[in-house]
A and B are shown apart, each in its own frame.
Chain A
Amino acid sequence: MKISREDVVRVAELAYLDLSESELETYRAQVDEILEYIGKLNQLDTENVEPMAQVLTDDQTADATLRDDIVVPCGLAVEILKQAPDPEPPFFRVPKVIER
């Protein structure tokens, strides 16, 4: 067994996911099976291999992708707030964050 119930509880906390007891057990078992399968990567010696974070080619260098730091208008605030669950323009209202 690679992953315990406690592992899944901890991960669900990190990911802000409410999981029921049955979900916890189901996902634990399934993720366990998947992690078992993923273990095959240990068959490979990757000691001298550079990790590859992205597949971008030479023309996608920093020089090519940076632009001047100029503010470009984006007039969508009103439209965006119309979609919000609890808007109080120009704010998004949320439950209390700071305990007094």
Chain B
Amino acid sequence: MTTNWTIDAVRASLEAKKISARELAADFYKRIEARNAELNAYLALSPETAYAQADKIDALIAANEPLPPLAGVPVAIKDVLSTRGITTTCGSKILEHYVPPYDATAVTRLENAGAVILGKTNCDEFAMGSSNENSAYGPVKNPEALDRVPGGSSGGSAAVVAAGLAVASLGTDTGGSIRQPGALCGIPAMMGSYGRVSRYGLIAFASSLDRIGPFATNVKDVAAILQTIAGRDPNDSTSTSAPVPVYTAEIQKPVKGLRIGIPRDYFGEGMDSGVRQKVEAGIELLKRLGCQPVGIPMPHTDYAIATYYIIATAEASSNLARYDGVRYGLRVDDPTLIGMYRKTRGAGFGAEVKRRIVLGTYVLSAGYYDAYYLKGQKVRALIAQDFREAFTKVDAIVTPTSPVPAFKLGERTSDPLQMYLADIYTVTGSLAGVPGISVPCGRICGKLPVGLQLFGPAFGESRILQLAHAFEQAGGASL
């Protein structure tokens, strides 16, 4: 069976008893067996958990009981999210055999909604990267072009949905790690506002930036997944108490008259001409839908990468201090405790992680804290202010998601700074805490996908989902 499943299609087929939840899971495992070796998108499969859940759903169907909202929907989970009883490696050797004793809240919520978790997806090590080439378990290939990257750090989560190996997946976004792979693989991908989804059980990279969000094949499914995982969690004090709207209903609202901000600072040099052409066509489509484009200044855009790589690496150096070989994960023995720490971390971390720990420790160290970390926090305030001011004039901001389409494997790995500059359009929203979605906006030469990014005001997820949905329905992906 090579159907392109959506959440609605799964629901309809289960209710009509055309397929059972178990058969559907089995079908996806067959697809995975056929393609995963080539893509390297899944790191671990969880058939025991999956079939146990599927059987529960099938029992409800047999008893004609009402089904939970995501009943039987096969999903994949990025390997930085804790899943009870299923290995969680964060793409690192230091956690190669780690099996969490608990589930992340986002995972629990998907399971309570009836979703069937097929397995854990490959990612850049500890979510650090923009190409999924920093995984200790090998890179992920872009299903649209096997010699190219899927983007990162949630490359595996993007690839499995784009390749039909899951109906939806969860990724995480710290500087662009959901939106950019979504753009490069040609699927919608979203991060809600900071605090919209509980981070409990997300193995931390940068605690003031990390967010969990969905990939799916269409915007309505993105809305449905976000709705399921969002909401206050007592286990995460940074999760907001603001109620969760019914996003799947909100997306139907008309977009005519909405003011869309076009920030000239995002449309300067450094953008691939193919990307520019598609994004401009996307803006034209939004105009045809009745949106009013408004030019807006976002004067601190150019400083966002520098700010991000101070703050994120500083927070990472702190968060990764826990990997010391004492309680879990890899331990490399030594007669002394400090020796054990040093050898364990030296052996267990990959190059990008070590590089960021070095940078992050440096910018926090005595004598440099003010010049770097404190300065970074001040510029972060200025960037957040750019967004707040923009949203007094517009309802959403439109930008390209990535300055380039999927690049070739190995193309950017020799120069870390080059790789960092790929995040130029996404890190701004990360620093400001606002929600962002990438929606497919055509393909260059009919092959390489391009993403259009929409930023909304804090907790304005409904607004950008509305726009993304209307854009998609009007044929945005075929521009």
Residues of A within 8 A of B (CB): 3, 7-8, 10-12, 14-19, 23, 26-27, 30-31, 33-35, 37-44, 46, 49-57, 59-60, 64-65, 67, 76, 79-80, 83-86, 92, 94-97
Contact call A17/B382, Cβ cutoff below 8 A: no
**In the complex, what's the smallest C-beta–C-beta distance from A11 to chain B, in angstroms?**
5
Chain B residues contacting A97 (CB-CB under 8 Å) are 337
Residues B300-358 near A (CB distance < 8 A): 300, 302-303, 305-307, 309-310, 317, 321, 324-331, 333-343, 345-347, 349, 351, 354-355, 357-358
Q: CA separation between A23 and B357, bound complex, in Å?
A: 13
Kindly identify which residue among B331, B381, B420 contacts A50, using a CB–CB cutoff of 8 Å: B381
**In the complex, what's the smallest C-beta–C-beta distance from B265 to chain A, in angstroms?**
14
Return the CB mask of B367-407 against A: 1 if under 8 Å, else 0. Answer: 00000101111111110100000000000000000000000
Contact call B417/A52, Cβ cutoff below 8 A: no
Identify the stretch in B117-125, B233-241, B252-260 within 8 Å (CB) of chain A at 4 or more residues: B233-241
**In the complex, what's the smallest C-beta–C-beta distance from B279 to chain A, in angstroms?**
25
Q: CA separation between A53 and B315, bound complex, in Å?
A: 11
Chain B residues contacting A33 (CB-CB under 8 Å) are 416-417
Which of A11, A31, A57, A67 is packed against the most chain B CB atoms within 10 Å?
Answer: A11
Contact call B355/A17, Cβ cutoff below 8 A: no
Identify the stretch in B29-37, B96-104, B151-159 within 8 Å (CB) of chain A at 4 or more residues: B96-104
Contact call B358/A31, Cβ cutoff below 8 A: yes
Kindly identify which residue among B194, B346, B379 contacts A46, using a CB–CB cutoff of 8 Å: B379
Chain A residues contacting B237 (CB-CB under 8 Å) are 60, 65
Chain A residues contacting B303 (CB-CB under 8 Å) are 40-41, 43-44
**In the complex, what's the smallest C-beta–C-beta distance from A26 to chain B, in angstroms?**
8
Contact call A56/B381, Cβ cutoff below 8 A: no
Contact call B354/A51, Cβ cutoff below 8 A: no
